[in-house]
Structure 1
């Protein structure tokens, strides 16, 4: 026993010393690999099937921006630059195209940054002869030539998608496009314009005030740039702006990052990153009804009241397309054949952003309608009885404005057959429900009556059996004994 005690004590000391060693000398941990700071010739990458959203391939020196594979709709990918605290990318290689998220898609750098799909088809390329790829701390992705001197041969700042960042020049040769592809921002010779691309209609315009400098003919096109002091400046030559569009942070000391984005609803908004969150810092359009299509096709947006439908019978659903007469067909009404359409008319209607639209002069609403009636490309007209102005709508009907003035009359063509299905669906649903309800009530009633008759016949049968096995006959054959038996059976 003494020997066992000595052995036990020795084992205890060994275990204690081992624990002391491991707690005072931890094993070295494997650090996660840091993103590359540059890509050189020979670089190659494929999408990682375990990544759900973004696969980092390159990072800027400060660690705020990353370049890599952005997963789109689960099965597709785009090359993108993202900010670590922004859900949407600040740059996308080609918003109109994407490759598949699979092991057969690869990105490589051979002087050009190239992405190919499973059939080895080139999906996108910088088309350059550079030596390395770097990501600057302002989010600018660059392909550089390092010999004989360092020069930039390609940069993402020259190909913006829907976002501008501080000090990024936006020229008349560039276009911002909303993520859904419906809206765009372009520069004119002295203004910034927002356009609905399906109709080519300008819905917002900001003209240069030329307060500090004048735009000179022959001195080149204008460009715009976000100034860190909190404004969107328009320039022609030098650093003196010909126009200043102030943000909320204008002339306030800030150390954050400013960006400007064209959003899916068509609004142009600025945001400020203050180190902890993104704050709304600018909004080009403040009134919802002034947006290009806030309520959907064949709808009205009334300030203070919201959305409704032109036909007064249906309700706009969530997002676009809630009204009965919504259509995805964007072709003209003739489409190679004689025009076939029905008409909706509504008083108290006005075209949105009318100051940016062309108009005719008409003596009556009937004359205004006649301007549109025979034209295949015209989907409607709005007439102002007060001014005599006639506005033609040469694209499928989007959101109109609801106004109190009944003298403003809207005339809208509806492609024949559109909307009937939904009205039939609603009517048939109500009709079917009514018929089913009626059948159910009748079935229950008939079942109840049948049950009562069956119970009465069973009771009479039992009584007759107790009185000698007489079988029941017609009422006139039942003698007084039968009634006596019934009467006795109730005692």
Structure 2
């Protein structure tokens, strides 16, 4: 990776050289004694090297050396910007561009009016940028907060703490107006409402967001219209606190395992992970590892996708035991392909339904209290309410309460409950039919029929010619008599006549 110098008129530009992740880095300004860049000035440019041997290319360091900001390889070949906790190589913040960059291609990070990540196409290939931010310098604070500053203003023009990805760190506020935490696989979200925090599944790019976990602030008053909303903050003493905006009054505490241990000197984070669970961890220099400290959902079967699409989670022990809802031969995930589109507007060309129906007993939903439902319904009425609704993927009925819970999103993990009165009705999309049956135009059908007729005619003609040649060979044998058979070897004669006949057939 090469860093180009900014505007020569900018004071503080020095020439230095350091080695970071086996990549040579030219220092722009704000370099410490060890050569690490701790400040970027307006006009800064850094270029990502496609053949970089390390998955992280730092361009900016925190003063304490615990964090760095730079290019990060995500997965097999995706390019992102990230703030990384260097001791663990964990990205505590990522830019997460809407359009993913390619690690194998060149990319440029510039700081002009704001930070901009662009691909090989230059300005037309902008992957990510800080919106509505005009700054003079960029610094990475010891808290891991990436900050764009103006010289004349104390408040940051932009900061990563206001734009979280999947992780919150110490002293970082999560407010009602903050973007939600989004898991790395983009399937789950943590949102904060006026008086509670909640976890949601993300379907169809966020158009459907069913809730599967909720925690309400104990001392908040939802009925009080004048009460300000709550905000959340991770505390170094071992808890996640909920406070009233403005006054800072504490209204609830999510206690971690180390809350009563008075653990000092630990760095903490709370991350929404790819399985949909919200977990907290702490790091100490002695242990040199992340230690789990809290999880929002404790039972495996309560996680929304623990057994995958159309999976059935059987409680028991500390692990999820999975089966399949569908009638396939599979007894464990994957049971069916993950859905990416809804059922509405996905009709069959012949007017038939595009899904099969599965009915099962002893099934329920772990988060059914968060789903829309109908009361005083029979199992038949519950099924009919879903069957006639193209936005409904399934329905679960409880005979004891008469409640009918509707799934207006693709079916994920259900939970086994030993009660025959709990029944489920599910729609399973049929595989698409072949293009020759479904998408062939009338013109293509006519051409196909004509070619089939021609091939059939050629086959008949070939058979006729072969039959005539066979008759001719028989007449020659009878005319030649015994003398021809004594002067010519049988095998050779057979091969010769076979080759002659083949040649004639080909002609």
- TM-score of the superposed pair, with normalisation by structure 1: 0.73
Contact 2:346 2:354 in 1 (8 A): no
CA distance in 2, matches of 1:162, 1:286: 20
Cα 1:361–1:103 change in 2 (3 A) is: closer
CA distance in 2, matches of 1:402, 1:103: 48
Cα offsets for 1:134-168 (capped at 9, x unmatched) = 0001100001112x354421111010000000110
Cα 1:419–1:225 change in 2 (3 A) is: farther
Displacement of 1:341 after TM fit?
A: 2.6
Match of 1:248 in 2: 257
CA distance in 1, matches of 2:380, 2:418: 21
Question: Partner of 2:185: helix, strand, or coil?
Answer: coil
Cα offsets for 1:392-432 (capped at 9, x unmatched) = 11122111111111111111122234799xxxxxxxxxxxx
Displacement of 1:55 after TM fit?
A: 0.3
CA distance in 2, matches of 1:267, 1:55: 30
Cα offsets for 1:366-404 (capped at 9, x unmatched) = 121111111111122111111111111112211111111
CA distance in 1, matches of 2:248, 2:376: 48
Which deviates the most, 263-272 or 374-383? 374-383
Q: Of residues 211, 223, 233 in structure 2, which corresponds to 1:202?
A: 211
Match of 2:141 in 1: 136
Q: Of residues 174, 179, 198 in structure 2, which corresponds to 1:193?
A: 198
Cα offsets for 1:262-320 (capped at 9, x unmatched) = 00000000001122221001100000100011101111001016100113653355xxx
Cα 1:361–1:219 change in 2 (3 A) is: closer
Contact 2:60 2:70 in 1 (8 A): yes
Q: Does structure 1 residue 40 correspond to structure 2 residue 41?
A: yes
Q: Does structure 1 residue 373 correspond to structure 2 residue 394?
A: no
Cα 1:214–1:367 change in 2 (3 A) is: closer
Q: Of residues 167, 173, 180 in structure 1, which corresponds to 2:177?
A: 173
Q: Of residues 200, 220, 223 in structure 1, which corresponds to 2:228?
A: 220
Question: Partner of 2:48: helix, strand, or coil?
Answer: coil
CA distance in 1, matches of 2:153, 2:410: 55
Cα 1:96–1:123 change in 2 (3 A) is: closer
Cα offsets for 1:187-224 (capped at 9, x unmatched) = 1111000000114110000011118x999533432210
Q: Which has the larger radius of gyration?
A: 1
Q: Does structure 1 residue 259 correspond to structure 2 residue 269?
A: yes
Contact 2:84 2:91 in 1 (8 A): yes
Match of 1:298 in 2: 310
Report the count of equivalent residues: 385
Listed as ranges, the gaps of 5+ residues in structure 1 are 1-29, 421-491
Which deviates the most, 332-341 or 228-237? 332-341
Cα offsets for 1:458-489 (capped at 9, x unmatched) = xxxxxxxxxxxxxxxxxxxxxxxxxxxxxxxx
The residue correspondences of 1:428-439 to structure 2 (distance < 5 A) are none
Q: Does structure 1 residue 344 correspond to structure 2 residue 361?
A: no
Displacement of 1:71 after TM fit?
A: 1.4
Displacement of 1:131 after TM fit?
A: 1.3
Cα 1:67–1:363 change in 2 (3 A) is: closer
CA distance in 2, matches of 1:104, 1:405: 59
The residue correspondences of 1:381-392 to structure 2 (distance < 5 A) are 381-392=395-406
Question: Partner of 1:289: helix, strand, or coil?
Answer: helix
Cα 1:348–1:256 change in 2 (3 A) is: same
Contact 1:357 1:391 in 2 (8 A): yes
Listed as ranges, the gaps of 5+ residues in structure 2 are 1-16, 20-33, 435-507
Displacement of 1:74 after TM fit?
A: 4.5
CA distance in 2, matches of 1:158, 1:270: 19
Cα 1:150–1:361 change in 2 (3 A) is: closer
Contact 2:176 2:192 in 1 (8 A): yes
Question: Partner of 2:38: helix, strand, or coil?
Answer: coil
CA distance in 1, matches of 2:105, 2:329: 49
Match of 2:62 in 1: 60
CA distance in 2, matches of 1:415, 1:278: 41
CA RMSD of aligned residues (A): 2.4
Displacement of 1:31 after TM fit?
A: 7.0
Question: Partner of 2:401: helix, strand, or coil?
Answer: coil
Cα 1:316–1:194 change in 2 (3 A) is: farther
CA distance in 1, matches of 2:156, 2:358: 58
